Amino acid sequence: MQPAVKLKASKVPSSQIGRLFHYGSLAVGLGAGAASEFLRRSTSGSNAGEQQGSVMMSEANVSRLVDKLSQMRGAALKLGQFMSIQDSHILPEQIDRILRQVQNNAHYMPNWQMEQVMTTELGADWKSYFSSFEPIPFASASIGQVHRATVASTSQAVAVKIQFPNVAQSIASDLRNLSLLLHASRLLPRGMYLESSLKVMREELEDECNYLREAQAAKRFREVLTGDDRFKVMGVVDELTTKKVLVMEMMQGESVARATKLDQSTRNKIGNTILTLCMRELFHFRFMQTDPNWSNFLYNSATRQVELVDFGASREYSKEFINDWYLLLSAAIAGDRDACIKHSLKLGYLTGEEKDVMVDAHVKSLVLLGIPFATSTSQPFSFGSSLQPITSAIREQIPIMLKHRLTPPPRETYSLNRKLSGALLLCGKLGAEVDCQRVWKRETVGYEASVSHSNLKWDACKS
């Protein structure tokens, strides 16, 4: 069962000086905590197991990091979400634990700060637009919080997402401070190409801070999924939506993370639906909502639909990139080593100068990822029993790749891999049984011929 999110009111540090002070105090606190832990171990006769642990990652420092990242929000909190989903297998266990705690300790703005944002965006009489508005949010994340409300003119129940003050303006400085902190503390392993990750995260955050862009993405998904009764996409109230306030239809479903209590057939259907959506986003729309956070996928037991919310992390991919990525995943599914290397070189996963041990680990990881889609259609892939051995086998390759990797992953693959891995992990959490090979073949039919003949006229918008 997913831990309940703990909501706590705290002022968002909004000035550059204020945010710099918080990062500085965190660095000082971590240093003092590490020194204290070193002294404690030196004088207490701790056992060998305790002595092996990092002094930087003492319990006191873990608490410091969780509290400060939760309070800072913005890029600080987004880094936790980004890293915990992006490449969780390569993170030290203590770091992974910190990031997961942060996601379940969300802070929200005090009422006066929320009202300042609403007044700036909708005017001093903003409350007149709503016949009801709950001042305490029901959800809070990295760049904003969400309130229940009712539109006065239509009586429509809505969710109002309000952006934290100056989050967009603080992205660049926050990431510089985080980079300095992570490098100085040596909290992350070598080979992660932190600067590349932070560059990608900056671009994503800047997009997510534009709620008008998110509203357009939601409308686009609503259009391409019209007629598919497996899905319901949130509607947007345009007249009350600005760059920092997003008013959207209130959905009725519950997070799919809670669907673990449902019967096997329903869980199978949910898993199949989410994997199908993932493939359609890639090979039909070339437009993907790349945040696999389970709270972005709701299941409505009454309508038996998967409800889709939060489109801030939506990304478009070029035809050429998806062609190459399709060929790479096809090679992985077929277990074709030579083709995996060929397409990895073309995409930029490899440079051609890697040692054999790195190439072997890379290809093994790709083939392992393809196993669910290679499983015979006569027997659906059982995520409950079969996914863990795959993730464990991939984890064994990570230290090798971190040591011998010569280039960061291609920029486009950060978001794509995050979503695909998240979808597979969600199926694992549900214990779903899904005919993944059938999903793959159904959603890519006609695509192979298109790629083989370089036919760029293939209509990716049609199913």
* Catalytic residue check, 291: yes
Which pLDDT does position 295 carry in this prediction? Answer: 82
Residues 217-246 pLDDT 10s: 999 999 999 999 999 999 999 999 999 999
pLDDT(450) > 90 = no
Which pLDDT does position 350 carry in this prediction? Answer: 95
Q: How far apart are CA 63 and CA 97, in angstroms?
A: 11
CATH of region 110-163+210-250: 3.30.200
Nearest to 280 by CA among 44, 443, 167, 139: 443
Name the catalytic one among 67, 87, 174, 291.
291
How far from 76 is each of 67, 102, 129, 170, CA to CA, in Å?
A: 11, 10, 33, 10
Which pLDDT does position 367 carry in this prediction? Answer: 95
Which pLDDT does position 67 carry in this prediction? Answer: 62
- Residues 6 or more apart in contact with residue 396 via CB below 8 angstroms: none
Q: Mean of the pLDDT values across residues 83-97?
A: 50
pLDDT(298) > 90 = yes
Which pLDDT does position 296 carry in this prediction? Answer: 87
Which pLDDT does position 90 carry in this prediction? Answer: 45
Which pLDDT does position 88 carry in this prediction? Answer: 45
Give the confidence band of 355 by pLDDT, cuts at 50, 70, 90.
very high
Which pLDDT does position 22 carry in this prediction? Answer: 47
Which pLDDT does position 81 carry in this prediction? Answer: 57
Q: Name residue 66's amino acid.
A: V
Which pLDDT does position 51 carry in this prediction? Answer: 44
pLDDT(58) > 80 = no
pLDDT(3) > 50 = no
Percent of the chain exceeding pLDDT 70 equals: 69
Q: Mean of the pLDDT values across residues 424-450?
A: 87
Residues 278-295 pLDDT 10s: 999 999 999 999 887 778
Q: How far apart are CA 148 and CA 135, in angstroms?
A: 8
Q: How far apart are CA 158 and CA 235, in angstroms?
A: 9
Q: How far apart are CA 269 and CA 307, in angstroms?
A: 14
Contact 419, 387 (CB under 8 A): no
pLDDT(248) > 90 = yes
Contact 424, 366 (CB under 8 A): no
Which pLDDT does position 366 carry in this prediction? Answer: 95
Residues 109-126 pLDDT 10s: 889 999 999 999 999 999
Mean pLDDT of the chain: 80
Which pLDDT does position 85 carry in this prediction? Answer: 42
Which pLDDT does position 86 carry in this prediction? Answer: 42
Q: How far apart are CA 86 and CA 420, in angstroms?
A: 10
Pairing of strands 381-382, 433-434: antiparallel
What is the pTM assigned to this prediction? 0.79
Which pLDDT does position 100 carry in this prediction? Answer: 58
Residues 150-178 pLDDT 10s: 999 999 999 999 998 888 877 777 777 76
Give the confidence band of 143 by pLDDT, cuts at 50, 70, 90.
confident
Percent of the chain exceeding pLDDT 90 equals: 49
Which pLDDT does position 50 carry in this prediction? Answer: 46
Domain map (residue ranges) of the chain: 8-107+171-184, 110-163+210-250, 316-462
Q: Mean of the pLDDT values across residues 247-259?
A: 92
Nearest to 143 by CA among 390, 310, 346: 310
Q: How far apart are CA 100 and CA 75, in angstroms?
A: 16
HEC per residue, the chain: CCCCCCCEECCCCCCHHHHHHHHHHHHHHHHHHHHHHHHHHHHHCCCHHHHHCCCCCCHHHHHHHHHHHHHHCHHHHHHHHHHHHHCHHHCCHHHHHHHHHHHCCCEECCHHHHHHHHHHHHCCCHHHHEEEECCCCCEECCCEEEEEEEECCCCCEEEEEEECCCHHHHHHHHHHHHHHHHHHHCCCCCCCCHHHHHHHHHHHHHHHCCHHHHHHHHHHHHHHCCCCCCEEECCECHHHCCCCEEEEECCCCEEHHHHHHCCHHHHHHHHHHHHHHHHHHHHHHCEEECCCCHHHEEEECCCCEEEECCCCCEEECCHHHHHHHHHHHHHHHHCCHHHHHHHHHHHCCCCCCCCHHHHHHHHHHHHHHHHHHHCCCCCCEEHHHHHHHHHHHHHHHHHHHHHHCCCCCCHHHHHHHHHHHHHHHHHHHHCCEECHHHHHHHHHCCHHHHHHCCCCCCCCCCC
Residues 369-419 pLDDT 10s: 999 999 766 689 999 999 999 988 988 898 898 889 899 889 888 888 888
Q: Mean of the pLDDT values across residues 60-83?
A: 59
End-to-end CA distance of the chain: 35
